[in-house]
Chains A and B, each alone.
Chain A
Amino acid sequence: AQSVAQPEDQVNVAEGNPLTVKCTYSVSGNPYLFWYVQYPNRGLQFLLKYITGDNLVKGSYGFEAEFNKSQTSFHLKKPSALVSDSALYFCAVRDMRGSARQLTFGSGTQLTVLP
């Protein structure tokens, strides 16, 4: 079975400071990892994904994520946070072993960027 953990329900950061939203995963095969962001009363917007290759993945709006296989982590980062980054962030995993193709999501992390 595949699972995702986002250990922090809430992350607060000052505008202009770097931000990190943590994610760890568990799969039996190779993981495909995704980050999505959700603004109030909206669907999920795709930020970035890791399939294979370079462990540092760059995505939309200046976000990046680092895949660490030994620590089974895929933390989302941004060098300088903006107030407009305040939203709910979801990490998701898909295990390519077996026939299942659905995404399994973490519980979400509410990011608040303080002006």
Chain B
Amino acid sequence: KAGVTQTPRYLIKTRGQQVTLSCSPISGHRSVSWYQQTPGQGLQFLFEYFSETQRNKGNFPGRFSGRQFSNSRSEMNVSTLELGDSALYLCASSGGTGAGVYFGTDTQYFGPGTRLTVL
């Protein structure tokens, strides 16, 4: 099976712009989570989607949003970019299989990330 793919891999934006990142989960996986990784704050949870519904949300401002499509692909959007948004954004997919049942015990498999630089 192909792994989790994220596009683009690298992105450079300026303050005030907005950006959209994309994540395609492992085939058959229905849950997608997003994390932000920075040297100062480490890995922080952004949000999780399952069957097109946001299940959980981390402690990030409303400028960070996401969505999930019927094919389980997910996008996250950051509006009005700030310098502090520069980070590696990681997407993780997990099974959530079984007639729409949501299993929190599923292992999350990560993509390579999108490196966002805000100038």
Tell me which of B14-22, B75-83, B109-117 binds A.
Answer: B109-117
CA A91 to CA B6, docked complex, whole Å? 23
**Does the CB pair A43–B4 fall under 8 Å?**
yes
Taking the nearest CB of chain A, how far is it from the CB of B9, in angstroms? 9
Give the residues in chain A near B4, CB-CB below 8 Å. 43
Partner of B42, one of A49, A94, A105: A105
Residue B101 lies at the interface, judged by CB distance under 8 Å to chain A: no
> Is B65's CB within 8 Å of the partner chain A?
no
Q: Which of B31-79 contact A (CB under 8 A)?
A: 33, 35, 42-43, 45, 48, 55-56, 58
- Inter-subunit contact B104/A94 (CB<8 Å): yes
Name the B residues within 8 Å of A45 (CB-CB).
110
Closest to A100 in B: B56
Binding site for A on B (CB under 8 A): 4, 6, 33, 35, 42-43, 45, 48, 55-56, 58, 90, 92, 102, 104-105, 107-113
Chain A positions near chain B (C-beta within 8 angstroms): 32, 34, 36, 42-46, 49, 51, 90, 94, 96, 99-108
